[in-house]
Structure 1
Amino acid sequence: MTSPVEVAGLRPRVDKALTAFLADQRTRLAGIDPALADVSDALEAFVLGGGKRLRPAFAYWGYRGAGGADGDEVVAAVAALELVQASALIHDDLMDRSDTRRGEPSMHRRFESRHAGAGWRGASASFGDAAAVLLGDLSLVWSDELLHTSGLGPAELTRARPVFDEMRTEVTVGQYLDVLTQATADTSLERAGKVARFKAAKYTVERPLLLGAAVAGAPASVHEAYTAFGLPLGEAFQLRDDVLGVFGDPSQTGKPAGDDLREGKRTYLVAAAFGALDDGAWDELDKGLGDQSLTDDGVERLRALIRDSGALAATEQRIDDLMTASLSALAAAPIDEEARTVLRALADAATRRTV
């Protein structure tokens, strides 16, 4: 079965746009200093080496659903979302002290190894951290540039700009709320839900859809329908991510087993467990969560606490409820039928995944 991201040849077209853009940036950086080849190598490997391309797909089919005509310009514009995603992931891995991403060293670990291998002065870990901050920032800067050089007309860019800006603000403050929630050990479902909405839900589905609608010049009714479809779907996407972060297969996810537990992620799944556990089990989960030295046996114990509390089943039910609301809104949306079919398939791909 053809992946919904492949319909209209979208994935290779997005990759082509990113490849051409990054090749131009490589030439620019080489003109500044040959040492910046490391930057080009790292970002090309990170951006082009993986990723589901869901955000460009939602934006593209949001555009098509609103009556927009196909064109390489709009594909290049939605490809800019992958550079926002790269920025978010690079910074997220640094904040979480993650060693890997998609089965490869995370950006800060990559540059830490580069420093150590070259025998440079100073602390290798500090160099890696600094490089990850800067490369994440550079990816965000380049997302703007790719959008503005995509070939969209002035009117289209004027409509797209506020959505693009709002999206990047939301994902950034969502990341901060995630860090704050871990620091304050907030166990409420309300806080976990807010983090999920702003860190991922709006940024993964709703804002890309609205970006496509804005480029197409869609009426308010389409924007409203995309929000009704996109918000619950985006939250379901994040809840699936949370489940995989605790119970996923490392060979599929590309991250070590129990990484989210060692990082102390206060997700909806974890908040639901805290809300159901008795005092002794609550204390055990609270003590283990965020323990970087947690053994594999310790991970299994925390998994058992979460599963036995009913939190896993409750989260799966929440995903199902969100999907029902999302797909109902999609069915009623005043959009093109081909786009509706592809968006339905994208919804399934976003929430029934194993990676």
Structure 2
Amino acid sequence: MVHGITALVAQPDLGFRRQVDDELGAFLDSRRDRWIESGTRPCFSVLRSYVLSPGKRLRPTFCYWGWRGAGGEPGPQIIRAAASIELFHSFCLIHDDIMDTSDMRRGQPALHRQFADIHARSGWRGDATRFGVNAAIVAGDLLAMWSDEMLQTCGLDPAGLRAAYPYVARMRADVCVGQFLDAEEQAHGGSLSGAVLVARYKTAGYTVQGPLQIGAALAGAPQAVLTALGAIGRPLGEAFQFRDDLLGAFGDPKVTGKSDMDDFREGKPTALVALARDGATAHQARQISALHGNPRLTVEGAALLRRIIVETGARKALEAMIDERVEQARQALAAAPLSDPAVRGELELLLTSTAHRES
């Protein structure tokens, strides 16, 4: 067990994403035969491609940094352990897109849309849309279970796996709690305090805080290190979600890989919209109510909603909330028990790239 955070590198190495994808591909391929015994080869191929579609691999990266921060050495075992969180991330995306009725993810149709297309093209009986949703729910559940299997068989020391388990369990539970909160907020109309709470549970825990602490726990980190990483991860994870809210409204779909209309049409109770409601005039409030959550929202209506968001100061206010949380993460980083001064600069770069991204 170590008693401080040792040196990290700015990037695990230039091939980190490739290594993560290689581990994911190898794991999925090892399960191929059992999957296709029932004749579902097309569905397996689509699921494999979905998991391996281009992404930031941000969660495996944070897990790796947590591991290195606790003195762990590079090796295939930690890459496999970190990659397991990407399987969990895919599960979250699949179910989230179903709940939000989103059509696109990472520049391609959401998984439930792809499964529906297989059904339609194959001329199968029944409703293609219903099949797509049902198949995607099961596929997401399977990825959640495979995530656990991949972690448990990563080859790391059993003591580290036992130490990491409470953080893995909390990460998984927090995501589910966050999804419940998100659904409740939408049903109630949404509020700023509610949106912050959703960001804390639904996103922060499994995007930054959880992966950092899981990686550190796997390496046998003491409580002081785990606490410090948690203090860095929570505000940074919230900033990540608020940036996501902004990108969902103002981002370029060609860059983000997601629609800039879905959140509006679905009536997502984001912090951005809550801030707009709080700062709206009576006329603007009526416009927001008419536009936000309208499944037939037009391009012109979305443009008007974006203009209201800007005019009420909501966009600027959310940027300030992001900056505030990044600063909280920086202060936590400054107070963290780091044994190598170079670590602070490297983590600072990761703070900036996570909170101020374009996709």
TM category (shorter chain) comes to: over 0.9
Residue in structure 2 matched with residue 21 of structure 1 by the alignment: 27
**1:336 shift after superposition:** 5.0
Q: What one-letter code is carried by the residue in structure 2 that aligns with 1:19?
A: G
Q: Do the aligned partners of residues 47 and 272 (structure 1) sit closer, same or farther apart at CA in structure 2, a change above 3 Å counting?
A: same
Q: Unaligned 5+ residue runs, structure 2?
A: 1-8
Partners of 2:153 and 2:358 in 1: how far apart? 35
**1:71 shift after superposition:** 1.6
Q: Do the aligned partners of residues 125 and 286 (structure 1) sit closer, same or farther apart at CA in structure 2, a change above 3 Å counting?
A: same
**1:6 shift after superposition:** 5.6
1:342 correspondence with 2:346: yes
1:69 correspondence with 2:76: no
Higher mean alpha-carbon deviation, 159-168 vs 323-332, is at 323-332
Equivalences for 1:18-167 in 2 at 5 Å?
18-30=24-36, 32-33=37-38, 35-167=39-171
Identical columns (%):
46
**1:329 shift after superposition:** 1.3
User: What SS class does the counterpart of residue 55 from structure 2 fall into?
Assistant: coil
Q: Do the aligned partners of residues 107 and 9 (structure 1) sit closer, same or farther apart at CA in structure 2, a change above 3 Å counting?
A: same
User: What SS class does the counterpart of residue 259 from structure 2 fall into?
Assistant: coil
Q: Do the aligned partners of residues 131 and 4 (structure 1) sit closer, same or farther apart at CA in structure 2, a change above 3 Å counting?
A: farther
Higher relative helix content: 1
Q: What one-letter code is carried by the residue in structure 1 that aligns with 2:223?
A: A
Runs of 4+ that moved beyond 4 A: 3-6
Equivalences for 1:187-198 in 2 at 5 Å?
188-198=191-201
Q: What one-letter code is carried by the residue in structure 1 that aligns with 2:83?
A: A
Q: What one-letter code is carried by the residue in structure 2 that aligns with 1:214?
A: A
Residue in structure 2 matched with residue 320 of structure 1 by the alignment: 323
Q: Among residues 153, 178, 183, which one is paired with 1:179 in the alignment?
A: 183
**1:280 shift after superposition:** 2.0
Q: Among residues 224, 249, 253, which one is paired with 2:256 in the alignment?
A: 253
Determine if contact 1:171/1:199 at 8 Å carries over to the other structure: yes
What are the superposed Cα offsets for residues 45-89 of structure 1, whole Å, 9 maximum, x if unpaired?
A: 111112111111111111111111222111101111101100000
Partners of 1:85 and 1:5 in 2: how far apart? 21
**1:28 shift after superposition:** 2.7
Partners of 1:27 and 1:268 in 2: how far apart? 45
Between Structure 1 and Structure 2, how many residues are aligned?
Answer: 350
Determine if contact 1:66/1:336 at 8 Å carries over to the other structure: no
Partners of 2:101 and 2:150 in 1: how far apart? 29
Q: Do the aligned partners of residues 82 and 313 (structure 1) sit closer, same or farther apart at CA in structure 2, a change above 3 Å counting?
A: same
Q: Among residues 222, 232, 236, which one is paired with 2:235 in the alignment?
A: 232
**TM-score between the two structures when normalised by the length of structure 2:** 0.94
**1:8 shift after superposition:** 6.0
Q: What one-letter code is carried by the residue in structure 2 that aligns with 1:351?
A: A
Q: What one-letter code is carried by the residue in structure 2 that aligns with 1:51?
A: G
Q: What one-letter code is carried by the residue in structure 1 that aligns with 2:33?
A: T
Determine if contact 2:116/2:131 at 8 Å carries over to the other structure: yes
Q: Do the aligned partners of residues 330 and 156 (structure 1) sit closer, same or farther apart at CA in structure 2, a change above 3 Å counting?
A: same
Determine if contact 2:12/2:64 at 8 Å carries over to the other structure: no
Partners of 2:203 and 2:139 in 1: how far apart? 21
Determine if contact 1:56/1:79 at 8 Å carries over to the other structure: yes
- Root-mean-square deviation (CA, aligned residues, Å) is 1.5
**1:232 shift after superposition:** 0.8
User: What SS class does the counterpart of residue 40 from structure 2 fall into?
Assistant: helix
Q: Unaligned 5+ residue runs, structure 1?
A: none
Q: Do the aligned partners of residues 48 and 323 (structure 1) sit closer, same or farther apart at CA in structure 2, a change above 3 Å counting?
A: same
